Amino acid sequence: MSGAAGGAGGGWPTIVCAQVGNVNTGAFDPVREVCEVAHARGAWVHLDGAFGLWARVSSALGQLADGVELADSWATDAHKWLNVPYDSGLVFCRHPEAHRAAMSIRAAYLIQDEDGERDSLDYNPEFSRRARGIPVYAAIRALGREGIADIVDRGHAMAQRFKDKLTSHGVEVLNDVVLNQVLVRFGNDARTRDVVKAVQQEGTCWMSGTTWQGKAAMRISVSNWTTDEDDVDRSVAAILKILESRDPS
């Protein structure tokens, strides 16, 4: 099994973490290549795919996540694209034994099945929790693959629209729009942070601030299923109005 002791770490387990949709830029690591190189050296490959894993449902964007099936484990969120409750994180592991060994807890008052029957207690970090899987299942069942693909494709198109509208007015966009993330900068750190705060207070839309490659930026993340062209245009207009109010004249 990949990730066993004695791998690339010289006697210690080695875990390689690849990004499937960077939290700031939306960029994807070359997962297939990462897995081939890491597995050849006995390393475990984990994918941080908070929103990028969902690109696989799209015929237009699926190639971005090429090779994800080769990884040993995935982590992703359902609350972004599916807009289900915020604490609906998902983890997948291709090695049941390793999964159970990492999560199972032994105690005198707990009864473990010795014949291998699956008990959810052995596969998650909580003894008691609400049934988070129900809203996730309901959303997937209601939307289907085509419905989820439509949300992902529309989110990408709206992110591209943000970039096109802002750059046409001279605003600096720092990244290529790979999926649904747009990084915007307004000259310098202080001015950028000021504009971000003003946009949040104005209320038309809410954009977070971030730091990317040592620079302050506005992080535009499009993942709500209702976001359309009108939302983007009104948001861009609000950003430009605030920006204009801060320009000396």
Q: Kindly report the CATH class assigned to 15-77+89-131.
A: alpha beta
C-beta of residue 113 within 8 angstroms of C-beta of residue 135? no
Over range 170-195, report the average pLDDT: 97
The answer to whether residue 10 scores a pLDDT higher than 80 is no
Over range 56-81, report the average pLDDT: 96
Residue ranges with strand state E in 94-242: 172-173, 181-185, 208-212, 215-221
What pLDDT, on the 0 to 100 scale, is given for residue 248? 60
What pLDDT, on the 0 to 100 scale, is given for residue 179? 97
What pLDDT, on the 0 to 100 scale, is given for residue 100? 86
The b/e string for 214-232 (b: 16+ C-beta within 10 A; e otherwise) is eebbbbbbbbebebeeebb
pLDDT, tens digit (0-9, with 9 covering 90-100), for 90-143: 999 999 889 888 888 888 887 777 776 788 878 888 777 788 889 999 999 999
Q: What angle do CA 118, 119, 122 make, to 5 degrees?
A: 105
Domain 150-246, CATH: 3.90.1150.10
pLDDT, tens digit (0-9, with 9 covering 90-100), for 15-66: 999 999 999 999 999 999 999 999 999 999 999 999 899 999 999 999 999 9
What pLDDT, on the 0 to 100 scale, is given for residue 3? 43
What's the predicted TM-score (pTM) here?
A: 0.87
The answer to whether residue 240 scores a pLDDT higher than 90 is yes
- Mind giving me the DSSP string for 46-88? EEE-TTGGGGGG-TTTGGGGTTGGGSSEEEEESTTTS---TT-
Q: Report, in angstroms and rounded to the nearest whole number, the Rg of the chain calculated over CA atoms.
A: 21
Q: What are the residue boundaries of the structural domains of the chain, listed by start?
A: 15-77+89-131, 150-246
The separation between CA 72 and the C-alpha centre of its own chain, rounded to angstroms, equals 18
